[in-house]
Structure 1
Amino acid sequence: MNDMLLLLLAGMLAGSMNALAGGGSFVSLPALISVGVPSVAANATSTFSLFPGRLASSWVYRDGFGKVCGVPVLPISLATVLGGLCGSMLLLLTPSRVFDAILPWLLLIATGMLVFGRRISAAFRSRASARTATIVPIQFLLGVYGGYFGGAVGLMMLATWSIFGGGEIKELNPMRMLMVTAANAVAVIVFVAAGAIAWFQCLPMLTGALLGGWAGAHVGLKLPASAVRALTIALAVATTALFFVRAYFS
């Protein structure tokens, strides 16, 4: 398959997955690496490529924006943006060979959250109480992860907010999309300023992600995401295994 067509289709799938259930980077990152983009540049390019799709999804979800666990949008957003700034700068300081070794473990964490996030949140929900002094620092750390790698960070946010009594997953989904977009926005600025984007490979993936993000958000307003979640988990497990083999056995 032509590389540009592969990246376009990967962007469409990743954008729709992010809008529905998260985990789009499990598609976009391997696609970029498969066409020869080094891992750190591929991660930066993936973040940039998926950003317009996330922005489109956030616009569709805009009527659902509100407090998270009783905490107003502004402090949550500031913590997320600051975390995204720190995480993106940390990524640029990481040599590609080191990131290649770290990446499978980041994917494993993200896959674990995809599979066990609901159970974790259910186990701890009754033991935790929401306070601004608790939620804001946790959101900062989630922002750091989002700026550095970002795989399944939206699902991590949903699980965390659910632990602290944030409400039902569907009600939290608009804020999940907004906060992931906020972390990615500052990361995108850092990556562009640092010249870390592989532009030739970025453009077809960006186009696909924009289309997929817009369409996926509209579908997500009407349909349950159970089938998409199952597909996301299957892709996550396969991708994680592939990157462990690539990092440690090839």
Structure 2
Amino acid sequence: MSELLIVLLAGAAAGVLNAVGGGGKFVALPALVAVGLPPVTANASSTIALVPGAVVSASVYRRELTPVGGASTTALTTISMAGSGVGAGLMLALPAASFEAAVPWLLAFATLLLAFGRRLSRALSTALGRPVGMSARAVLIGQFFLGIYGGYFGGAVGIMMLAVWSVGLGLDAAVSNPMRVTQLAAIYLSATVLLLITSDALGSPLVLATMLVGAAAGGFGGAHLARRLPAWLLRGALLTTAAITTVLYFLRS
């Protein structure tokens, strides 16, 4: 019972983090390893378990979606799911440890972009004498690779999304947070379809179900909390979450 309580609380915390700023998998994955799941199984199980929380959060935000460049929500979601499917296949074929070493550095870079991306975008616009902006095709290509990373490992993929959109399009992190949550749900959902069929995540159904419940509750509560935060405070929460997640990944590695 104590192990299930740990899993439940970790799921709830992961759901809240993903709704507010990202990095929920950093909480979910170690919790599953701590209760005895092998690392590869825990990686697959954490992806599956976080689906309900991400979907619930996305439903809360459904009326607040703003376009990302010239890419429609439908096109962006479709490409996220396609990339995630490829990434999930790679996760099953390749050892996750082969990629984990690069994750802290990717996160550090993404955090810097998230902090200074809009200023960088404005500076480039001034220097070039024209607005800087990714084309719809560039947005979709970038999202496809983000989807691959999300399906393969997924740690803080939402933070990386915000970083790319901030520099490439000058989007405000608080304004684009609903789209980040929606794309996170698409990435997790696509990967889950493959992982349920091919991985052994269902070998511990009680543990998986417990984290599912926690993540759904956390995702619902976290999304409602994020909607009520002032834009400046939500930006601060997003950046703080990104910085803390980066530090924790470095410590973990």
User: What TM-score bracket applies, with the shorter chain setting the length?
Assistant: 0.7 to 0.9
Matched, 1:215 2:221: yes
Q: Tell me if the contact between 2:84 and 2:150 (Cα under 8 Å) persists in the aligned partners.
A: yes
Q: Distance in 1 between matches of 2:114 and 2:192?
A: 27
Change in CA separation of 1:121 and 1:91 when aligned onto 2, cut-off 3 Å: farther
Which runs of structure 2 are paired with 1:1-250 in the superposition (5 Å)? 2-95=2-95, 99-114=96-111, 116-120=113-117, 122-124=119-121, 126=124, 128-197=132-201, 198-223=204-229, 224-225=233-234, 226-227=236-237, 229-230=239-240, 233-234=243-244, 236-242=246-252, 244=253
Q: Distance in 2 between matches of 1:26 and 1:149?
A: 11
Change in CA separation of 1:63 and 1:168 when aligned onto 2, cut-off 3 Å: same
Give unmatched runs, 5+ long, in structure 1: 245-250
Q: Deviations over 1:79-107 (max 9, x none)?
A: 11110110000001124xxx235324324
Over the residues paired in the alignment, what is the CA RMSD in angstroms? 2.1
Using the TM superposition, give the Cα deviation of residue 66 of structure 1 relative to its aligned residue in structure 2, in angstroms. 3.6
Q: Tell me if the contact between 1:39 and 1:100 (Cα under 8 Å) persists in the aligned partners.
A: no
Q: Tell me if the contact between 2:81 and 2:147 (Cα under 8 Å) persists in the aligned partners.
A: yes
Number of residue pairs the alignment of both structures matches? 240
Amino acid at match of 2:75: P
TM-score, with normalisation over the residues of structure 2? 0.86
Moved more, 2-11 or 191-200: 191-200
Q: Tell me if the contact between 2:14 and 2:23 (Cα under 8 Å) persists in the aligned partners.
A: yes
Q: Distance in 2 between matches of 1:123 and 1:29?
A: 34
SS in 2 for 1:129: coil
TM-score, with normalisation over the residues of structure 1? 0.87
Q: Tell me if the contact between 1:166 and 1:172 (Cα under 8 Å) persists in the aligned partners.
A: no
Q: Tell me if the contact between 1:68 and 1:166 (Cα under 8 Å) persists in the aligned partners.
A: no
Q: Tell me if the contact between 2:134 and 2:169 (Cα under 8 Å) persists in the aligned partners.
A: yes
Q: Tell me if the contact between 2:16 and 2:219 (Cα under 8 Å) persists in the aligned partners.
A: yes
Moved more, 173-182 or 198-207: 198-207
Q: Distance in 2 between matches of 1:80 and 1:122?
A: 27
Change in CA separation of 1:110 and 1:69 when aligned onto 2, cut-off 3 Å: same
SS in 2 for 1:81: helix
Q: Tell me if the contact between 1:79 and 1:136 (Cα under 8 Å) persists in the aligned partners.
A: yes
Question: Percent of pairs identical after alignment?
Answer: 34
Q: Distance in 1 between matches of 2:112 and 2:23?
A: 12
Give unmatched runs, 5+ long, in structure 2: 126-131
SS in 1 for 2:228: coil
Q: Deviations over 1:117-170 (max 9, x none)?
A: 322554345354221121111110011011111111111111111222252211
